[in-house]
């Protein structure tokens, strides 16, 4: 039998998130792959900083007001082309 399951490591053992069709004492081979759904502390800090920055940008209007259509036109950015 080969089956992919998810489990949580409680500090001592892996605890399956669903029942397994095994008897006590059965031997198994385990390949461990960390789940992306559990961010590591560094990733969690980065995510928090990004969320705070995004919130700041949403709450703080840009200085100088919104850009006009003319100021973002191709000619204004790249100059007149002959």
Residue 82 forms part of a structural domain: no
Query: What's the domain range around 43?
Result: 7-71
The total of structural domains in the chain comes to 1
Q: Rounded distance, CA 30 to CA 72, Å?
A: 57
Q: Rounded distance, CA 44 to CA 33, Å?
A: 19
Q: What is the pLDDT along the chain (82 residues), one digit of tens a residue?
A: 788 899 998 989 999 999 999 999 999 999 888 776 666 788 888 989 999 999 998 888 778 777 888 888 888 888 876 5
pTM exceeds cut of 0.75: no
Q: Rounded distance, CA 19 to CA 17, Å?
A: 7
Residue 2 forms part of a structural domain: no
Residue 39 forms part of a structural domain: yes
Per-residue confidence (pLDDT) for residue 15, from 0 to 100: 94
Residue 21 forms part of a structural domain: yes
């Amino acid at each position: 039998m080969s089956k992919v399951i998810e489990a949580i490591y409680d500090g001592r053992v892996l605890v399956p998130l669903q029942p397994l069709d095994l008897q006590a004492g059965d031997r198994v081979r385990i390949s461990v792959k960390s789940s992306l759904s559990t961010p590591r502390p560094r990733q969690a800090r980065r995510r928090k900083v990004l969320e705070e920055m995004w919130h700041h940008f949403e709450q703080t209007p840009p200085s100088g007001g919104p850009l006009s259509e003319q100021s973002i036109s191709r000619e204004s950015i790249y100059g007149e082309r002959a």
